[in-house]
């Protein structure tokens, strides 16, 4: 390996869909159908090496992991995985050994390393988000712009390998959604490059804002800034294990033994559940609803936010007026989306509105069966959505035709519905030859 070395370890677990025979080519990372979730159980906190060790313990392919980490344009490090016991629990410990890494890197320097590595897109994006959050937090704590932040502990070889390695392991396991339990933190004091700091450190407290946490009476740094940054940057759901079909699990060990607490992080990986219900609405869908409370944005910003969220793939987005604390009028922006898009849409909502926090919870939706067809009105195409007992004209299409023909919008909509109804009465006639009052009707992909 050009820049380092990854020593193999025999994993106790493997995702069934990730197994392969010797000589068999693997699919490109992230090429799966999506919908796989990784839930981190942070009963003893989380650190970069613990997260990476848990994913390797769960079956991340070491050969592929080595090839991805080998792209990092830094040398003088090695990575080993050691099977250990933590209070009787079999776990994997990730050990990054560094030779002479005395470099204090700036945020732009780290971004240059990630860009030069030419990592897969989702790996790069996850790593960039984690380091960006670290830079923002360090900048606020030291009152300087993120671009001027000097990373000390979190800019070293070990942190870069931990973050890129964890992002790579998630990709190799085709994880689309990251979730976590409430995050445990310790107490007392911890030593840093700036001297003694309270435990949890100020950076950890800032990074965990909006994430459920719980303190433990342990004078150990259970959650590190690196671990907190991973959850803050990648996590979309926090709380109990989400409904899933479990495929694999693993434990990543911390570096030391604790008397009364297993010093490890658990990861559970599976496909988000979608229950099947016998009803006229067909199968249910497991979706995620994101929400943010806002009291300092304009109506124009809210309208723009809803529009871009829908453009980015939200299944639905809406705004609800509410009365907030101290009698201030506000709004709740809600998003309904596929779990695969939670991370992107959460960041889009934060970016567009400046929200300091986004909530998420799983919801189940029963969508009526529908078919998207196209009719013609005065020679212009108009789409109609047909579901049991109802036909609905696409407003944008009807408005466009109304503007071009001079007909009232309601008349265009009525003619489009009539065109479909006439076609519906002639089921045996090929669609290409059917003529409604406004023209032919054409089926579209549902």
Whether 40 is in a domain gets the answer: yes
Grade residue 210 by pLDDT with cuts at 50, 70 and 90: confident
Predicted pLDDT of residue 374? 86
For 256-263, the CB contacts below 8 A with 24+ separation are 256/220, 257/86, 257/87, 258/44, 258/87, 258/218, 258/220, 260/218, 261/43, 261/44, 261/87, 261/216, 261/218, 262/43, 262/44, 262/86, 262/87, 262/88, 262/89, 263/44, 263/86, 263/87, 263/220
Question: Residues of the chain with pLDDT > 70: what percent?
Answer: 80
Averaged over 312-322, what is the pLDDT?
A: 93
Predicted pLDDT of residue 312? 87
At 35-65, the pLDDT tens digits run 789 999 999 999 999 999 999 999 999 999 9
Higher-pLDDT residue of 441, 218: 218
Grade residue 9 by pLDDT with cuts at 50, 70 and 90: low
- Angle, in degrees to the nearest 10, between helices 48-57 and 225-234: 60
Q: Is the pLDDT of residue 12 over 90?
A: no
- The mean-pLDDT minimum among 156-160, 268-272, 405-409 falls in 156-160
Q: Is the pLDDT of residue 437 over 80?
A: no
Asked which of 335, 366, 397 is the last residue of a domain, the reply is 366
Do 42 and 139 fall into the same domain? Answer: yes
Which of helix, strand or coil describes residue 383? strand
Predicted pLDDT of residue 30? 37
Predicted pLDDT of residue 441? 46
**Residue at token pair 């108009």:** 382
The DSSP letter of residue 4 is: -
Do 195 and 317 fall into the same domain? Answer: no
Do 128 and 248 fall into the same domain? Answer: yes
Do 174 and 208 fall into the same domain? Answer: yes
Do 108 and 199 fall into the same domain? Answer: yes
Question: Residue 398 in contact with residue 417, Cβ under 8 Å?
Answer: no
Averaged over 228-240, what is the pLDDT?
A: 91
d(CA 121, CA 112): 15
Whether 279 is in a domain gets the answer: no
At 77-121, the pLDDT tens digits run 899 999 999 999 999 999 998 876 556 678 888 999 999 999 999
Do 266 and 357 fall into the same domain? Answer: no
Averaged over 368-390, what is the pLDDT?
A: 84
Do 182 and 307 fall into the same domain? Answer: no
Whether 210 is in a domain gets the answer: yes
Do 262 and 298 fall into the same domain? Answer: no
Grade residue 158 by pLDDT with cuts at 50, 70 and 90: confident
Higher-pLDDT residue of 305, 422: 305
Whether 232 is in a domain gets the answer: yes
Do 89 and 115 fall into the same domain? Answer: yes
Residue 412: both structure tokens together: 């265009």
Query: Whole domain around residue 66: which residue ranges?
Result: 6-11+30-272
Report DSSP letters for 124-168, one per residue: HHHHHHHHHHHHHHHHHHHTS-GGG-B-SGGGSHHHHHHHHHHHH
N- to C-terminal Cα distance for the chain?
A: 48
Q: Is the pLDDT of residue 283 over 70?
A: no
Q: Which of 257-288 are b and which e, b meaning 16 or more Cβ less than 10 Å from the residue's Cβ?
A: ebeebbbbbbbbbbbbbbeeeeeeeeebbbbb
Q: How many domains does the chain have?
A: 3
Grade residue 273 by pLDDT with cuts at 50, 70 and 90: low
d(CA 3, CA 6): 10
Predicted pLDDT of residue 281? 47
Whether 25 is in a domain gets the answer: no
Q: Is the pLDDT of residue 432 over 70?
A: no
Q: Is the pLDDT of residue 263 over 90?
A: yes
Q: Is the pLDDT of residue 16 over 50?
A: no
Predicted pLDDT of residue 174? 92
Do 105 and 252 fall into the same domain? Answer: yes
Predicted pLDDT of residue 101? 56
Predicted pLDDT of residue 218? 92
Q: Is the pLDDT of residue 150 over 50?
A: yes
Averaged over 118-140, what is the pLDDT?
A: 90
Predicted pLDDT of residue 342? 87
Asked which of 366, 396, 421 is the last residue of a domain, the reply is 366
Residue 203: both structure tokens together: 């950076």
Do 244 and 292 fall into the same domain? Answer: no
Do 290 and 256 fall into the same domain? Answer: no
CATH of the domain at 328: 3.30.70.1380
- Write down the mean pLDDT value for the chain: 82
């Amino acid at each position: 390996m050009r820049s380092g070395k990854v020593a193999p370890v025999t994993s106790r677990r493997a995702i069934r869909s990730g197994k392969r025979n010797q000589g068999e080519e693997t699919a490109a990372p992230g090429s799966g159908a999506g919908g796989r979730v990784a839930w981190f159980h942070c009963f003893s906190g989380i650190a970069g090496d613990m997260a990476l060790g848990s994913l390797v313990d769960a079956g991340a392919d070491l050969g592929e992991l080595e090839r991805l980490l080998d792209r990092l344009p830094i040398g003088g490090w090695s990575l080993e995985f050691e099977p250990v016991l933590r209070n009787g629990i079999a776990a994997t410990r990730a050990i990054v050994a560094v030779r002479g890494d005395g470099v204090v890197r700036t945020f732009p320097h780290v971004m240059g390393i990630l860009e030069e590595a030419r990592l897969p897109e989702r790996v790069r994006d996850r790593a960039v988000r984690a380091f960006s959050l670290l830079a923002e937090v360090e900048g606020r704590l030291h009152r300087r712009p993120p671009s001027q932040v000097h990373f000390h502990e979190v800019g070293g070889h070990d942190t870069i390998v931990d973050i890129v390695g964890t992002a790579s392991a998630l990709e190799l396991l085709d994880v689309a959604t990251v979730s976590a339990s409430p995050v445990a933190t310790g107490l007392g004091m911890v030593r840093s490059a700036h001297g003694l700091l309270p435990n949890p450190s100020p950076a950890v407290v800032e990074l965990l804002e909006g994430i459920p946490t719980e303190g433990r009476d342990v004078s150990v740094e259970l959650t590190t800034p690196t671990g907190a940054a991973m959850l803050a940057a990648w996590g979309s759901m926090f709380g109990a294990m989400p409904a899933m079909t479990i495929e694999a699990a693993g434990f990543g060990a911390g570096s030391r033994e604790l008397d009364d607490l297993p010093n490890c992080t658990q990861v559970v990986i599976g496909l988000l559940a979608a229950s099947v219900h016998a009803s006229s609405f067909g199968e249910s869908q497991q979706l995620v609803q994101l929400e943010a409370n806002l009291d300092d944005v304009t109506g124009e910003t809210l309208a723009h936010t809803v529009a871009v969220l829908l453009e980015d793939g939200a299944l639905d987005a809406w705004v609800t007026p509410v009365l907030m604390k101290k009698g201030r009028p506000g709004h709740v922006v809600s998003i309904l989306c596929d779990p695969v898009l939670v991370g992107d849409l959460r960041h889009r909502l934060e970016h567009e509105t400046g929200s300091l926090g986004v909530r998420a919870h799983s919801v189940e939706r029963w969508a009526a069966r529908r078919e998207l067809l196209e009719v013609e009105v005065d020679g212009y195409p108009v789409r109609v959505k047909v579901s049991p007992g109802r036909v609905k004209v696409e407003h944008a299409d009807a408005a466009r035709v109304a503007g071009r023909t001079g007909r009232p919008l309601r008349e265009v909509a009525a003619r489009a519905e009539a065109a479909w109804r006439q076609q519906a009465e002639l089921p045996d006639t090929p669609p290409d030859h059917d003529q409604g009052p406004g023209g032919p009707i054409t089926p579209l992909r549902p």
